[in-house]
Amino acid sequence: MDIKKRNGQPEPYESEKIRNAVLCAFASVHQEPDRDRTDRIMALVEEKVCAAVKGRHSLSVEQIQDMVEQSLMEAGCYEALKSFILYRNERSREREVRQNLLRYFTDIPDMEPVLKEIQKKWTGSAYWLEHLLMKFSAFYKQEMTDKETLSALIQAAVELTTQEAPDWEYIGARLLMLRFKKELTAIEEKHQIRSFYEKLRFLTDEQLYGDYILERYSRDEIETCGQFLDEKRDQLFTYSGLELLLSRYVIRSRENIPLESPQEMFMGIALHLAMKEENDRLGWVKRFYHMLSTLKVTMATPTLSNARKPITSFPPAS
């Protein structure tokens, strides 16, 4: 039997997911039911599922959740039932405001996962997306281009940043990174860049990367370093820090088009710093990259701006 998700896609029915949801409802009210009680609730749910599925190929998520509510009530678990109902209402509210925002960004498929992650990480009422939608609505105009619309959303997040709700600056950074990656991905697709080595090859051919990097490292070594890249570390940036890095330090074309991501920038600097190492060179690359990408070390402006670039910009490390 399949469960029809809210987006219409089917997925296999798994009773363990229902058990986990039930246990979470109890945990939210600081209760820990014994195995017999949990099995009794699950038996009630399974009984309802079996009765409802006759003559059907699937049930909806909402139908399954209704059955969980009924089973908790029949088992006399009223506190857990109340918590489960409140949880459903909260998730429904989150979905509604998320869908209202997504109507403005139909051409950005990655917007929904970013909004979901924001809702998952920042659960306090100060960070509800309703605030973002309201502020964004004050900036939005129908004649805006897609890029201007996304910029308005970023501006809304930044302007919500206060002493009481400082993490809106991190939310603004995630939205800014989404806009940046959309532009970068378009360039990579245009030039058929599919790997870190191909990125370095392209930048070197464009005379934006020093040829000494490809001379010192083999293709296999560079591809190995590409596996070290961790885009989750982009989430460590505040808006102001990310905006500075993207506008000043990542490599751009002569037409000011971005050509490398922040993580590729950190890796390029790490390659530059480690290229003269004779022992465990890739180990040193990984260490330098880790220190830079986790923001544990801040390099001086000349290094951030020029390391990995042609020798006329910055001499290789000695």
In Å, the largest CA–CA distance within the chain is 77
State how far the Cα of 208 lies from the Cα of 203, in Å rounded to an integer. Answer: 5
State how far the Cα of 64 lies from the Cα of 14, in Å rounded to an integer. Answer: 11
Place of tokens 């939608």: 133
Rg (CA), the chain: 25
pLDDT at 318: 46
The pLDDT tens digits of the residues spanning 197-244 come to 999 999 999 999 999 999 999 999 999 999 999 999 999 999 999 999
State how far the Cα of 248 lies from the Cα of 228, in Å rounded to an integer. Answer: 24
Could you tell me if 307 and 273 are in contact, meaning their C-beta atoms sit under 8 angstroms apart? yes
Q: What angle do CA 203, 209, 212 make, to 5 degrees?
A: 125
State how far the Cα of 195 lies from the Cα of 105, in Å rounded to an integer. Answer: 28
**Backbone angles phi and psi of 248, in degrees to 5:** -115, -30
Question: Which regions of the chain are under pLDDT 70?
Answer: 1, 7-8, 55-57, 312-318
pLDDT at 55: 65
State how far the Cα of 305 lies from the Cα of 313, in Å rounded to an integer. Answer: 9
Place of tokens 């600056």: 169
Both tokens of 312, joined, read 């006329």
Could you tell me if 235 and 225 are in contact, meaning their C-beta atoms sit under 8 angstroms apart? no
Could you tell me if 231 and 267 are in contact, meaning their C-beta atoms sit under 8 angstroms apart? no
| DSSP class per residue in 217-274 | S-HHHHHHHHTT--GGGGGG--HHHHHHHHHHTS-B-TT--B-S-HHHHHHHHHHHHH
State how far the Cα of 227 lies from the Cα of 214, in Å rounded to an integer. Answer: 17
In order of 60, 121, 279, 292, 301, the CA distances from 284 in angstroms are 52, 33, 9, 12, 21
